[in-house]
Structure 1
C-alpha cells in the first residue's frame, strides 16, 4: 500500500498503525476540581534535561478546553491487565472515573492506581499542529512498576509484548 499527500487519509492511518505504541490515560482536574481523563497513544519523551514529555489531543476532543486550561496533567502508562480501563477512558462518557482507583500527588492530577508508569507534569507548552494540539509537560514526579508488561496497540488492535 502507498500513501501520497492528498490521497485517502485511511491509508495514512493504516501506515501509521504499523508503529506499535503503548497505551496511556491522560488525566487532569477541570476548573471545578473534577477528574478528567482520556485514552491516548500519542505519548513520547521529548527531553531528559529538562524532563519533558508530550501527548497529542485532537481539536475535536470534548476535553480539549479542559486540558488547554489546566496547569498540570498526568500521563498514566497502562499495563497488559489494564486493557478494560483503556476502553473505559476511550468512550464518550462523563463517568469514566466510576469504579477506577486513583490517587493524587502534588498537583492533584489523577494518578491511576496500579499503572505501569505515571508521570505528573506541569504544562510547559501547548503547540497547535494540524488537527491536533501537542501538550508538552515538564515532569515533576514519576513512578514505575518494573515487573509488569505494557499494554500495546498495533494495527488497530491491542497486543501483548513478545520477546524476540
Structure 2
C-alpha cells in the first residue's frame, strides 16, 4: 500500500485501514444527454429489511450538491480486473466520458453500458460526521448483468479519505 497524504495516521493504522475491503463503484446522476459521475469506494449495505445502503462522498466533491438536490443516483458496479475502465472514470471531468457509453437504467438514470450492473438509489437521509457526507439510500431498481465486481484489493493502494 502506498497511500498519499497519510501524515495524520501512523503507518500501522494506515496499513490496517487500507486492508479493509471495499468495491470500487461509479456513482452516476444527471441524464443520458449530460451524465455526471464520480468514483466512490466507501459503500456498505447497512440494513437487510428494508434493504439500505450507505455511501460516503467527500464533502468537497462538486457533484455532492447535485446528488442531494436530485435525491437519487445510480451506483454502477465495475467489472473485476478492468483497471482501465476505473482509470478512465477517474479522469478529469473534461476527459472522463471519452469512449464511455451510457444507457438508461433504473430510475431513468444514466448507467454504464458495460459492467456487472447498476443499482438505482434514492437518498433517504444524509449526515456529516467527518470529512465525508454519509448518504443513507434505498435501492429502488436494478440492472443486473452478472459477473465479478472490482474491489480495492485489485489496486496498488487504498483510498483512506485523506485527499
Taking structure 1 as the reference length, the TM-score comes to 0.77
Contact in 2 for aligned 1:59/1:132 (Cα 8 Å): yes
Gaps of 5+ in 2: 1-6, 158-163
Structure 2 match to 1:130: 130
| Deviation of 1:28 (Å) | 0.8
Q: Report the Cα offset of residue 83 of structure 1.
A: 1.9
Note closer, same or farther for the CA distance 1:68–1:14 as it changes in structure 2 (3 Å cut): farther
Bigger RCO of structures 1 and 2 (CA < 8 A, at least 6 apart): 2
Aligned-residue RMSD, C-alpha: 2.4
* Deviation at residue 92 of structure 1 after TM alignment: 2.9
Q: What residue in structure 2 maps to residue 151 of structure 1?
A: 150
Number of matched pairs: 149
Can you give the 5+ residue segments of structure 1 that lack an aligned partner in the other structure?
1-6, 159-164
- Name whichever structure is richer in strand by fraction: 1
TM-score (normalised: structure 2): 0.78
Cα deviation for residue 98 of structure 1 reads 3.0
1:21 aligned counterpart, secondary structure = coil
Deviations 1:109-135 (A, max 9, x none): 221122223100111111112000011
